[in-house]
Amino acid sequence: MNTESSLLGKPEIIQFSCLSDNYCSLIHDSVSGQTAIIDTPDAAEIIRQLEARNWQLSHILTTHHHWDHIDGHLELKQRYNCEVIGSEVNGDIIPGIDRAVEHGDQIQLGELVIEVLSTPGHTLGHIVYWVPSLDAVFVGDTLFSMGCGRLFEGSPQDMWQSIQKLRDLPPTTAIYCGHEYTQSNARFALSLEPDNIALQQRVAEVDRLRAENLPTVPTYVQQELLTNPFMRADQPELQQQLNMLGYPADQVFAEIRQQKDQA
Ligand SMILES: [Zn+2]
């Protein structure tokens, strides 16, 4: 299923499903004809989506080194001779990497400027791609709707700082996540904050969308601020529910992550 954004002639974002619950996004700049993919869970599906639009792949933007984000890198690079971009941390395990980037670097896709933010936590080299002119950020497995990535390599302190970088983006920013985990995240979030009205409304919306097999992402910074417990670790309402009122936010974050891991 696709979420087509924007008008003809403007840069487009196309989100589609891959494998069982991964999402993939193409960014296409129609002026230059350049097209980037964020992560490559499934080369065959990505080729199908490109060919359906007569697009050539010019860039692969890697969020992190887990197999379901890099599996198609070499096949796509061979087919399209595209540039593979990834974090300088963990860079040596990203297949076919041509350019290693770090926090603050910029990538040019035609006239579009894509900014790199480093978000360690899920992995140490995890990076996300922010496109200010499209009001969109591609976050891989750092953030999910009402959830966040498991801490495989980084500490809770790392991840809390990473999440604050996303929280600081403009509230209207669309967040493109790497997986459809929203419904199970929603149950957990609601168990922590049963009285949160915005959360109740979002859960109802998510249940409606999933009943029709529709995606629940992209989500938005302003929506996650109100509903995502991992973004709300410094909010008194949530701290109270955890009997941690006034605790440092990174400690509250660590407690929420641990409870979710055991849920
Ligand atoms: Zn991952």
For 9-53, what is each residue's pLDDT tens digit?
688 999 999 998 999 999 999 999 999 999 999 999 999 999 999
Instruction: Report yes or no: 118 and 140 within 8 Å, Cβ to Cβ.
Output: no
For the question of residue 64 being annotated catalytic, the response is yes
Segment 179-197, tens digit of pLDDT = 999 999 999 999 999 999 9
| 207 assigned to active site | no
What is the reported pLDDT for 105?
Answer: 98
From the list 59, 65, 73, 122, the catalytic residue is: 122
Euclidean distance between CA atoms 4 and 68, whole angstroms? 23
Residues with CB under 5 A from ligand 1 (ion): 66, 141
pLDDT at position 36: 98
Residue spans per domain, the chain: 3-262
With a cut of 50, say whether residue 6 has pLDDT above it.
no
| Coarse DSSP helix, strand, coil percentages of the chain, rounded to the nearest 5 percent | 35, 25, 40
Q: How sure is the predictor about 90, in pLDDT bands with cuts at 50, 70 and 90?
A: confident
Helix (H, G, I), strand (E, B) or coil at 160: helix
What was the pLDDT predicted at 3? 47
Report the distance separating Cα 236 and Cα 192, nearest Å: 13
Q: Is 39 helix (H, G, I), strand (E, B) or coil?
A: coil
Q: What is the mean pLDDT of residues 135-158?
A: 97
- For ligand 1, the distance from its centroid to the CA atom of residue 96, given in whole angstroms, is 18
Task: Please answer whether residues 153 and 49 qualify as being in contact, where contact means their C-beta atoms are separated by less than 8 angstroms.
Answer: no
| Cα 151 to middle of ligand 1, angstroms | 10
Q: Is the pLDDT of residue 4 over 70?
A: no
Strands 34-38 and 22-29: antiparallel
d(CA 20, CA 204): 23
Domain 3-262 falls in which CATH fold? Answer: Metallo-beta-lactamase; Chain A (3.60.15)
Please determine, for residue 91, whether its predicted confidence score (pLDDT) is greater than 80. Answer: no
pLDDT of 10 reads 80
> Residue 172 — φ and ψ, nearest 5°?
-80, -5
122 is catalytic: yes
C-alpha 160/C-alpha 4 separation (Å) is 32
Using the predicted structure, report yes or no on whether residue 7 has a pLDDT greater than 70.
no
Average pLDDT over residues 53-73: 97
Integer Cα distance of 166 and 147 in angstroms? 13
Q: Averaged over 143-156, what is the pLDDT?
A: 97
CB-facing half-sphere around the CA of 57: CA atoms within 13 A: 31
Q: If pLDDT is split at 50, 70 and 90, which confidence band does 86 have?
A: very high
The overall average pLDDT reported for the chain is: 95
Q: What is the pLDDT of residue 236?
A: 96
Does 126 qualify as catalytic in the annotation? no
Q: Which of 29, 42, 68, 158 is catalytic?
A: 68
